[in-house]
């Protein structure tokens, strides 16, 4: 990696603040609605995605059948493919350097779940992607591929921490591009 660790940490700190803000809103997630927090810091772009498992696979507990296990594995594989899901401007020359995807409910068999995993609660997938961009000044758009990858996603609520300030946007199937330039 050629970018500075300090700059990555600052990006993550900015992201952390944005995520805390969301958490303090204290609202349970809404099925069909994903959150996306983006921070640009120098050549580092950090993107955090929070998705209700319902939007991913249609259930929010550990898989119980072979078909559910297959759906879970396919959804996790799609989420790990950050470069396909999050398409930053080609001109900015960004490369995905790390993708972290966490969805404990999907990653363990139902039998291994504590207390029998009754499946009456809500559960999310959390993913964090780090991109290193050679030409960050040319970063003008982000096309979000979550709608194409998951048909149950209806809305993506975006918060962006950009060099020129904070920005919010709501994406829908008919409008899946975030404007990042002024």
The answer to whether residues 35 and 49 touch, using CB atoms and an 8 Å cutoff, is: yes
Least spacing, CB of residue 27 vs Zn ion, in Å: 12
Nearer to Zn ion, 52 or 63 (CB): 52
Least spacing, CB of residue 49 vs Zn ion, in Å: 16
- Please tell me the total number of residues recorded for the chain in this structure: 182
Range 95-114 burial, b when 16+ CB lie within 10 A, else e? ebbebebebebbeeebeeee
Nearer to Zn ion, 60 or 117 (CB): 60
Least spacing, CB of residue 88 vs Zn ion, in Å: 29
Which residues here bind Zn ion, judged by CB under 5 A?
52, 54, 60, 122
Nearer to Zn ion, 51 or 99 (CB): 51
Report the C-alpha gap between 89 and 66 in whole angstroms.
39
Neighbouring CB atoms inside 10 A of 125's CB total 24
Least spacing, CB of residue 16 vs Zn ion, in Å: 23
Considering only CA atoms, which of 142, 124, 168, 141 is closest in space to residue 34? 124
Nearer to Zn ion, 50 or 54 (CB): 54
**Residue least distant from Zn ion (Cβ):** 122
């Amino acid at each position: 990696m050629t970018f500075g660790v300090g700059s990555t940490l600052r990006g993550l700190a900015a992201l952390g603040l944005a995520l805390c803000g969301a958490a303090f809103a204290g609202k349970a997630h809404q099925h069909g609605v994903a959150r996306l927090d983006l921070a640009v810091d120098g050549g580092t772009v950090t993107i955090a995605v929070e998705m209700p498992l319902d939007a991913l696979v249609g259930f929010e507990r550990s898989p119980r059948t072979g078909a559910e296990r297959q759906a879970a594995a396919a959804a996790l594989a799609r989420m790990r493919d950050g470069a396909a899901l999050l398409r930053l401007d080609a001109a900015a020359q960004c490369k995905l350097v790390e993708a972290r995807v966490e969805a404990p409910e999907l990653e363990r068999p139902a039998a291994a779940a504590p207390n029998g995993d009754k499946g009456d609660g809500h559960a999310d997938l959390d993913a964090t992607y780090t991109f290193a961009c050679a030409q960050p000044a040319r970063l003008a758009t982000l096309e979000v591929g979550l709608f194409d990858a998951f048909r149950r996603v209806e809305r993506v609520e975006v918060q962006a921490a950009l060099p020129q300030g904070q920005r919010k946007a709501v994406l829908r199937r008919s409008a899946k591009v975030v404007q990042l330039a002024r």
